C-alpha cells in the first residue's frame, strides 16, 4: 500500500517506460488496403478517404513498391470493375481487375503478400454481397447460390497468384465452400483469412463511396452482424474456424475491441482486425479541424487494437504508421 507502491517509479523516463511497455505495434503487423481501377496512369485521391487513392494497375505497382519499401509486408486488394452485373461476374473473370493487379504485383514484388478481398458487392449492379432473388416486391440474398460464385472467384484469385484469400461477404458456409474449391484446384497451401465477425456498421460509409458498393436497395443487415451481438460473433468465428479458416478477422476494430479480446482468449489461430474507412476518416477529419494530433491518435488506436489481441492490423494508416515504427 502507498507509500510502498508507487507505479510512477517506472514512468520516470522514456527508457524505463520503453522497457516495461506491454504491447508493441510493429510494421510487420500492418496491412495496407488498396483500391484498383481500370485504365492506365490513374491516381485519383478518394474524397471520403484523404490520402487513399484509386489506382490503375501500373500506378498500383508503383505505390506497392513504396509500401513494401516502408517495411509493410502485405496489401489487401479491392477492385472496382469497368462493368457491374447482376451476378458480379467481374469477381471471377480471369482478366478481372483484381486478377490483373495481383499478377502485376506478384511479378514486380514477389515478396509483398497479396491478400485478395473476396466479395461480390463491388461487382454486382445492385451492390449486395451475393445473388439477389426477387419475390414480388421483396428481395433477398440467396446464400447457397452465392457460395458457388464465391468459390469460383476464390479459385480465380488463386490462379492469379494471390497469397491469401479473404472472404468478406458473410454468407454461411463460405469458408468451407472456398476451401473445397481451392483444394480441388490444387491450392492446398493457400490460406484463408475470414472476415468472420463482420458487423453491419455505419463505419463502412467512406469505403462504399470509394468502391461504389453501397446497396441500391435495402441494407446488409440480413447477412452482416447486429452490432449488439457479442456471443453470436464468437459463434461466427467458431464456425469459420471449424470450416478451415486459417486466420479470423473482427471488423470494424475500435468499436469491437471487446469481441477481439474475447476471440483472443478463445482461439489460438492468428487474429486480424480491420480499422475500417469510417474509423480512419473520423481521425483525419478531427485532425484537419485541429482537434487532435493525428500521429498520436493514430498510434494510440493501432496500439489499442494490438492490446485487445490482434496479430494483424489492417489499416489505411499503414504507411504513415510504418514511418513512425521500428
Q: Determine if 123 is a binding residue for ligand PBG (CB under 6 A).
A: no
Interface with ligand PBG includes 91 (CB under 6 A)?
no
256 binds ligand PBG (CB under 6 A): no
Of 10 and 216, which CB lies nearer to ligand PBG in the complex structure?
A: 216
Residue ranges of alpha helices (H) inside the chain are: 14-19, 57-69, 97-108, 143-160, 174-184, 205-211, 231-243, 257-266, 277-288, 294-308, 318-324
**How far is the C-alpha of 45 from the C-alpha of 284, rounded, in Å?**
14
236 in contact with ligand PBG (CB under 6 A): no
Residue 25: all three cell numbers together: 505495434
Least Å distance, CB 170 to ligand PBG, is: 8
Q: What residues does 250 pair with on adjacent strands?
A: 197, 273
Q: How far is the CB of 222 from ligand PBG (least distance, A)?
A: 12
36/24 Cα distance (integer angstroms)? 31
User: Judged by CB under 6 A, does residue 89 bind ligand PBG?
Assistant: no
- Residue 32, H or E segment: strand 30-36
Nearest-CA neighbor of 174 among 119, 102, 107, 105?
119
Q: Which of 87, 93, 117, 236 binds ligand PBG (CB under 6 A)?
A: 117
Residues 277-296 that bind ligand PBG (CB under 6 A): 277
Contact 139, 218 (CB under 8 A): yes
Q: Closest CB to ligand PBG among 20 and 305?
A: 305
* Dihedral sign of CA atoms 300, 302, 303, 309 in order: positive
User: Which lies closer to ligand PBG via its Cβ, residue 172 or residue 265?
Assistant: 172
CB-based contacts of 126-130 (< 8 A; 24+ apart in sequence): 126/86, 126/215, 126/216, 126/217, 127/208, 127/212, 127/213, 127/214, 127/215, 127/216, 128/215, 128/218, 128/220, 129/168, 129/169, 129/170, 129/171, 129/220, 129/223, 130/169, 130/171, 130/223
Q: Does 317 bind ligand PBG (CB under 6 A)?
A: no
In angstroms, the CA 32 to CA 157 distance is 18
* Comparison of 16 and 202: residue with beta carbon closer to ligand PBG: 202
Nearer to ligand PBG, 27 or 208 (CB): 208
Q: How far is CA 81 from CA 72, 89, 96, in A?
A: 26, 10, 7
Q: Is 198 annotated as catalytic?
A: yes
Examine residue 301 and tell whether it contacts ligand PBG (CB under 6 A): no
Locate 33 and state its grid cell.
488496403
32 scored as a contact of ligand PBG (CB under 6 A): no
Residue 149 CB, shortest distance to ligand PBG, in Å, is: 13
Smallest distance from ligand PBG to CB 166, Å: 9
Q: Is 251 a catalytic residue?
A: yes
| Residue 50 contacts ligand PBG per CB under 6 A | no
Instruction: Tell me how many residues contact ligand PBG (CB under 6 A).
Output: 11
Tell me, residue by residue from 191 to 220, as one string, x for binding to ligand PBG by CB under 6 A and - for no binding: -------------x--xx----x------x
Strands 131-135 and 138-142: antiparallel
Q: Which residue has the cell 472456398?
A: 178
Residue 275 Cβ, how far from ligand PBG at the closest point, in Å? 8
Which residues make Cβ contacts (< 8 Å) with residue 133, sequence separation at least 6? 139, 140, 141, 142, 145
The least distance separating ligand PBG from the CB of residue 283, rounded to whole angstroms, comes to 13
**According to CB under 6 A, which residues from 149 to 168 bind ligand PBG?**
168
Considering only 97, 254, 263, 276, the residue that binds ligand PBG (CB under 6 A) is 276
Interface with ligand PBG (CB under 6 A), residue from 55, 121, 162, 257: 121
Binding residues for ligand PBG, per CB under 6 A? 117, 119, 121, 168, 204, 207-208, 213, 220, 276-277
Annotated catalytic residues are 198, 251
Amino acid at each position: 500500500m502507498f507509500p510502498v507502491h508507487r507505479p510512477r517509479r517506472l514512468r520516470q523516463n522514456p527508457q524505463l517506460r520503453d522497457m516495461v511497455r506491454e504491447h508493441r505495434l510493429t510494421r510487420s503487423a500492418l496491412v495496407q488496403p488498396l483500391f484498383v481501377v481500370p485504365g492506365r496512369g490513374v491516381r485519383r485521391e478518394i474524397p471520403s478517404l484523404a490520402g487513399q487513392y484509386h489506382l490503375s494497375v501500373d500506378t498500383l505497382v508503383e505505390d506497392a513498391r513504396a509500401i513494401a519499401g516502408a517495411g509493410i509486408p502485405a496489401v489487401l486488394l479491392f477492385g472496382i470493375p469497368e462493368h457491374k452485373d447482376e451476378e458480379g461476374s467481374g469477381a471471377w473473370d480471369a482478366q478481372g481487375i483484381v486478377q490483373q493487379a495481383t499478377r502485376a504485383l506478384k511479378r514486380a514484388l514477389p515478396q509483398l503478400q497479396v491478400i485478395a478481398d473476396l466479395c461480390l458487392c463491388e461487382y454486382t449492379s445492385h451492390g449486395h454481397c451475393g445473388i439477389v432473388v426477387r419475390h414480388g416486391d421483396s428481395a433477398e440474398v440467396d446464400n447457397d447460390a452465392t457460395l458457388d460464385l464465391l468459390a469460383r472467384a476464390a479459385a480465380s484469385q488463386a490462379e492469379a497468384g494471390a497469397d491469401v484469400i479473404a472472404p468478406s461477404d458473410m454468407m454461411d458456409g463460405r469458408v468451407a465452400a472456398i476451401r473445397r474449391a481451392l483444394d480441388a484446384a490444387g491450392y492446398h497451401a493457400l490460406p484463408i483469412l475470414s472476415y468472420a465477425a463482420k458487423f453491419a456498421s455505419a463505419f463502412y460509409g467512406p469505403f462504399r463511396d470509394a468502391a461504389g458498393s453501397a446497396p441500391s436497395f435495402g441494407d446488409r443487415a440480413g447477412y452482416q452482424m447486429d452490432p449488439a451481438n457479442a456471443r453470436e460473433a464468437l459463434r461466427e468465428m467458431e464456425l469459420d474456424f471449424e470450416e478451415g479458416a486459417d486466420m479470423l478477422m473482427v471488423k470494424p476494430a475500435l468499436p469491437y475491441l471487446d469481441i477481439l479480446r474475447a476471440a483472443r482468449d478463445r482461439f489460438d489461430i492468428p487474429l486480424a482486425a480491420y480499422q475500417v474507412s469510417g474509423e480512419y476518416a473520423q481521425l483525419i477529419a478531427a485532425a484537419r479541424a485541429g482537434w487532435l494530433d493525428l500521429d498520436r491518435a493514430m498510434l494510440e488506436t493501432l496500439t489499442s487494437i494490438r492490446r485487445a489481441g490482434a496479430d494483424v492490423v489492417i489499416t489505411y494508416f499503414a504507411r504513415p504508421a510504418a514511418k513512425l515504427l521500428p
